[in-house]
Amino acid sequence: MATMPWEPLPTRDGAPGPSPVSEGLDRLVKGFGGPSAGTMGAVFGRWAEIVGTSLAAHTQPLSMRDGALQVGVDDPAWAPELRFLEPQILGRLRDVLGDVEIARIDVRVRPAKA
């Protein structure tokens, strides 16, 4: 009995090969109101570069949804500072990421765990 050589199943769009996983993730995340996987990776991975090391030491991005970046601060005193710097941070996000999908920053106080 002769075996047939392996061939991938045809894709929905007729492309000759498999699609990158990132494309499927992007479709899934956008379906839930989130940003692209590339945007999420860049914001979370380059946070210290975007906001500076001193601010990054007290803040961290938590989530992104419907044009809002939720940022946690480790002490309530940092919340007004982050709100004050929101226009500059949004501008820096555009500088670093290009066409960014973030229109506002929501601040959440999340004390550091001992």
CB neighbours of 39 closer than 8 A, spacing ≥ 6?
64, 97, 100, 101, 102
Domain count, the chain: 1
What string of DSSP letters covers 59-94? EEEEEEETTEEEEEESSTTHHHHHHHTHHHHHHHHH
Looking at residue 1, its pLDDT comes to 63
The reply to whether 5 falls in a domain is: no
| 43-60: pLDDT as tens digits | 889 999 999 999 999 999
pTM of the predicted model over 0.85: no
The reply to whether 6 falls in a domain is: no
Q: How far apart are CA 71 and CA 100, in angstroms?
A: 16
Residue range of the domain that includes 30: 23-109
Counting Cα atoms < 13 Å in the Cβ hemisphere of 60 gives 7
The reply to whether 91 falls in a domain is: yes
Looking at residue 68, its pLDDT comes to 92
Whichever domain contains 62, its CATH number is: 3.30.300
